[in-house]
Amino acid sequence: MTVSNDQMTSGNDTVAENRCRSCGSFVTRDFARVFGNNENEVFGCLECMTATEVKKGGARAEEVDTTQLIGGREPLR
């Protein structure tokens, strides 16, 4: 089955926009809305961060100091 460019676009979001900027993994539009920044950009996801880091705001920042999030782990970026 071939997918046209029209089928890859859903509303204002494209498949490329629904990707983690850190590791490139797919994230849902809802994940980006909830955990991303004000532009629904995601800089960390459950593939490249722990759930605790994501819940404490790590997915919305381009640079994350994870030592402050979970006590001692080296920064991811």
4-27 per-position pLDDT tens digit: 444 344 455 555 578 999 899 999
Mean pLDDT to the nearest integer, 66-70: 56
47 vs 25: CA distance, rounded Å: 7
pLDDT one-digit tens code per residue, 25-51: 999 999 999 999 999 999 999 999 989
- pTM comes to 0.63
- Residue 15 has what pLDDT? 53
- Residue 32 has what pLDDT? 95
Question: Would you state the structure tokens that stand for residue 2, as one six-digit string?
Answer: 């071939």
More confident residue, 70 or 47: 47
Nearest alpha-carbon partner for 59 in 37, 38, 76: 37
Nearest alpha-carbon partner for 46 in 28, 67, 70: 28
Cβ(11)–Cβ(19) below 8 Å: no
